[in-house]
Structure 1
Amino acid sequence: MIRNILIPFFIFISATTLLAQRTNSSPYSYFGIGDKFSNATVEQSSMGGIGVAFSNYGFLNFTNPAAYADIRFATYSFGLLNNDLTVKSATTSQSSTSTSLSYIALGIPIGSKAGFSVGMQPVSSIGYSLSTSIFDANDRLMQLSIFEGNGGVNRLYGSFGIKINKNLSLGIEGDFNFGNIENGISDLRADVFLSTKYNEVSRVTGGSLKLGVQYHKELENKLVISTGATVKLANSLTVTGDDYLYSLTFSPTGNEIPRDTISSNKISGSFNLPIKTNFGVGIGKFDNWYAGIEYESQDALTTNGLLTGGTNSAYNYGKSSRLSLGGFFIPKINSISSYWDRVTYRAGLRYEKTGLSVDGSGLNTNFTPIDDFGISFGLGLPLKRLSTINMGFEFGKRGTLENDLIEENYFNFRVSLSLTDMNWFIKRKID
């Protein structure tokens, strides 16, 4: 039992360090609380992100807490994400790579009709560095503005699911969000000795509550049809901190040398997130195959006390939605002659309206929606005692080159290790 406690403890400590070092290179991470991470396991992400109607006795499910009613073994799981990103404008292109921890989680059964899970995940990440230049008629640089940001938001969660009867399960999940965000704008002008910088340093905190339900019905020929739905209640993320406007110079190596503080103010506001709903349906055969589709939607987020997405801003928020479809296939889960017959093969599609609209013209009159489309597939490689190594691959595109905006083409490689302990509650005997 001591070993069972120590393993997730040390993984949690390592996860805290990795989350603190998380990086991002997307220009779209400038907006709001940053570039949002997928709230899905590697297995789910490999199937287009589906999961609201699906449950399994040995895998975690970050989409619907009702799924933990079917967990039968103590399961540790942690995932990693490697993102290869190519950012294109109408005239230039730039590539980058970043690696981050996707999640660290533990699921435990409670008897034969309930289960719970605890863990930590990134919610969003900020990591951009952009610049704009102004030249005179003789092509001489007159002004350079540098936009930089870093930080992000994480969450600690706890989920519980219970069977009401043979077919119906209910679940509840609560989480606490926390993180630090820093955004800065440096302004350098020709023939001016001192530059200026506006810097915001803020802390984000808040909690949320999600309710879930799943219904499974066995049909003829061992087919099982499943439906599921979740409702994440409206919640707010509180933002507090300070902003500074100060003068500075730069050393020959490019390091900042602060001089005088021009002004400083307190930051106090909130991001208000409306109700988010998710509904899905699927059909399949137990430990053989599954195919499902789901739809998630949320009204536009709003802000209080923050200069974000207002009527005079270069961006705003609208209703967001996601449509996903996918599934898996296992040729023969108990095959003795062929290892590859025991492998899980996954695939899926995802189309998402992020809710973010940006005006690239600078006139605040021509807002273009930023949409996201991805194609994914993956493998679940079985180890001993139901443990698995899961690999996922996703190709996608976000944004557009229209209206002077930026298009991102990305390749995500995800990997997770799911360790199943079948002896968690077995009392050892001493002869």
Structure 2
Amino acid sequence: MYKKINYIAAVLLLLASISVNAQVTTQSPYSRFGLGNVKGALLPQFKAMGGISTGVYKPGGFSNINMQNPASYSGITLTTLDMGLTGAVTTLKDGSKSESSFNGTLSHLAVAFPVVAGKSAISFGLLPFTELGYEYTVSDKLDTNSVNYLYSGEGNLTKAYFGFGQQFGEHFRVGGNVEYIFGNLQEQASLEPVNQVAYNSRNTKKNSVGGIGFSYGAQYEIPLGTRKRITLGYSGSSSSSINYKKTFLTTIYQRDNEGNEISPVVDTVKIVENNSAKMKLPLMHNFGISIQRDNKWMIGADYRMGKWSKLSMDGVNQGLQDSWGFSAGGQITPDATAISGYFKHVDYRVGFQYDKTYIQLNNQDVKQMAVTFGLGLPLALSRSSYYKLNFTTEIGKRGSLTNGLIQENYINFHLGFTLNDTWFRRYKFD
């Protein structure tokens, strides 16, 4: 028992260290806007179904942690551990040009314990919140001189959460998460004259974030018989004020004949260090529904909306627009009670998602869509332990090639390991 607890503590510390020190985990010019590319609070088994989760209570007989709607925690009947990693192949297209990249990282660690089995449970863990990673150059004229504007950014925000879910009566559930959002976001904008003997200038902006947020949810179940049900769900996150410290630096630098930057910098023109400020996060709403036959099949849909037009940093609105999107998907398990035939026990999942993001460029909304699919592969199980490997693939695109925009095609891979175990059960001996 204590070895298992110590193991979880060690992994939590490792993942926290990696989250704090991680640099570029994405290559997306669209991550320049807002706080970076926003990552949903979803494990691979939910991503495989297009991201449906708000109205999902128990997708099968296996306990899963659904952080998107903490009301679902009440259905956790065994100690549950979920951890995994993610990788992405991204191809950027701009007319006839294209560029591909690969990034991978540890993705999540989540733990849940039943308080009263089938009635209440707690959960805690670490998840990615946003990712920032881009680098590109824009050539232009300044007066009559040719110049290059160089833009780059890196960093991420991580979410540590602690949540509780409770069921009231037979069909109604509520829950909430307290979340600590932390990390660093750094961006640079440089001006370099072309074919001129001149100094280059660079502005560096760094935001070190650390503050508390809240999310919440509710679910209501409508029985359709002994093994069928409809689940209606709502979840959201509050419009929280998050503390951060901002640093701003303006420097003058040079490059040698080969184009390499000469160190140290020629001069530091301006520096503002560790000024305290607040960012105002947007209010988020999610609505979901699922229909299922226990241990056989489930289908569902989600609708989401975010008030990103209200995002502000140090009192300055970030010029974003409100977002909305929807997901649809489901899973099927051929025969979870079969005595033989491994593939009868496998969960087969598929889904679709569409989003109008909070970005608008050249009077055109930047949209994102993807098809998703995955497998839930049961591993060897014992009398009191159950293991499952969840593999998910997302194939999608963001943006388009019209109106001078960049099209971002991506293939995301997610691998998660889920453990169900009876850690805190007191056994009686005759």
Q: TM-score, normalised by structure 1?
A: 0.91
Deviation of residue 268 (structure 1)? 5.2
Structure 2 CA distance for aligned equivalents of residues 94 and 271 of structure 1 = 34
Contact 1:393/1:412 (<8 A) preserved? yes
Over residues 85-123 of structure 1, what are the superposed CA-to-partner deviations in whole Å (9 max), with x where a residue is unaligned?
111112311111111222111011112210011001111
Structure 2 CA distance for aligned equivalents of residues 261 and 306 of structure 1 = 27
- Counterpart of 1:312? none
Over residues 227-273 of structure 1, what are the superposed CA-to-partner deviations in whole Å (9 max), with x where a residue is unaligned?
11113221123342211111112355724521211122355544323
- Counterpart of 2:322? 319
1:374 and 2:370 correspond: yes
1:128 and 2:128 correspond: no
Structure 1 CA distance for aligned equivalents of residues 111 and 310 of structure 2 = 31
- Counterpart of 2:312? 303
Contact 1:133/1:141 (<8 A) preserved? no
Letter in 2 for 1:35: N
- Counterpart of 1:403? 403
Structure 1 CA distance for aligned equivalents of residues 89 and 182 of structure 2 = 26
Letter in 1 for 2:137: S
Deviation of residue 386 (structure 1)? 2.3
Structure 2 CA distance for aligned equivalents of residues 100 and 386 of structure 1 = 26
Contact 1:208/1:235 (<8 A) preserved? yes
CA gap 1:307/1:228 in 2 versus in 1, 3 angstroms? closer
Choose 154-163 or 214-223, whichever is displaced more.
214-223
Question: For 1:233, which of 232, 238, 245 is the aligned residue?
Answer: 238
1:150 and 2:154 correspond: yes
- Counterpart of 2:302? 294
What SS does the corresponding residue of 1:94 show, helix, strand or coil?
Answer: strand
Structure 2 CA distance for aligned equivalents of residues 274 and 38 of structure 1 = 14
CA gap 1:338/1:374 in 2 versus in 1, 3 angstroms? same
What SS does the corresponding residue of 1:79 show, helix, strand or coil?
Answer: strand
- Counterpart of 2:190? 186
- Counterpart of 2:169? 165
Deviation of residue 283 (structure 1)? 0.8
Structure 1 CA distance for aligned equivalents of residues 352 and 341 of structure 2 = 29
- Counterpart of 1:260? 267
Structure 2 CA distance for aligned equivalents of residues 59 and 36 of structure 1 = 22
Deviation of residue 413 (structure 1)? 0.9
Deviation of residue 16 (structure 1)? 2.2
Structure 1 CA distance for aligned equivalents of residues 344 and 15 of structure 2 = 33
Letter in 2 for 1:151: G
- Provide the alpha-carbon RMSD of the alignment: 2.2
Structure 1 CA distance for aligned equivalents of residues 147 and 232 of structure 2 = 57
Contact 2:57/2:231 (<8 A) preserved? no
Letter in 1 for 2:415: V
Letter in 2 for 1:368: Q
Structure 2 CA distance for aligned equivalents of residues 335 and 11 of structure 1 = 35
Structure 2 CA distance for aligned equivalents of residues 261 and 307 of structure 1 = 26
Deviation of residue 293 (structure 1)? 0.9
Contact 2:78/2:114 (<8 A) preserved? yes
Letter in 2 for 1:126: L
Contact 2:48/2:373 (<8 A) preserved? yes
Contact 2:112/2:124 (<8 A) preserved? yes
Structure 1 CA distance for aligned equivalents of residues 88 and 41 of structure 2 = 16
1:78 and 2:80 correspond: no
Contact 1:271/1:301 (<8 A) preserved? no
Choose 388-397 or 98-107, whichever is displaced more.
98-107
Structure 1 CA distance for aligned equivalents of residues 327 and 214 of structure 2 = 23
- Counterpart of 2:290? 282
Contact 2:334/2:345 (<8 A) preserved? yes
What SS does the corresponding residue of 2:9 show, helix, strand or coil?
Answer: helix
- Counterpart of 1:176? 180
Deviation of residue 147 (structure 1)? 0.9
Gaps of 5+ in 1: 310-315, 360-366
Aligned length: 414
Structure 2 CA distance for aligned equivalents of residues 122 and 302 of structure 1 = 19
Contact 2:333/2:344 (<8 A) preserved? yes
Deviation of residue 73 (structure 1)? 0.7
Structure 1 CA distance for aligned equivalents of residues 186 and 157 of structure 2 = 12
- Counterpart of 1:363? none
- Counterpart of 1:220? 225
Structure 2 CA distance for aligned equivalents of residues 220 and 420 of structure 1 = 27
1:45 and 2:76 correspond: no
- Counterpart of 1:55? 57
Question: For 2:33, which of 20, 31, 35 is the aligned residue?
Answer: 31
Choose 68-77 or 196-205, whichever is displaced more.
196-205
Deviation of residue 221 (structure 1)? 6.3
CA gap 1:391/1:33 in 2 versus in 1, 3 angstroms? same
- Counterpart of 1:89? 94
1:21 and 2:22 correspond: yes
Over residues 29-72 of structure 1, what are the superposed CA-to-partner deviations in whole Å (9 max), with x where a residue is unaligned?
11121111122110110001011111225111021000010100
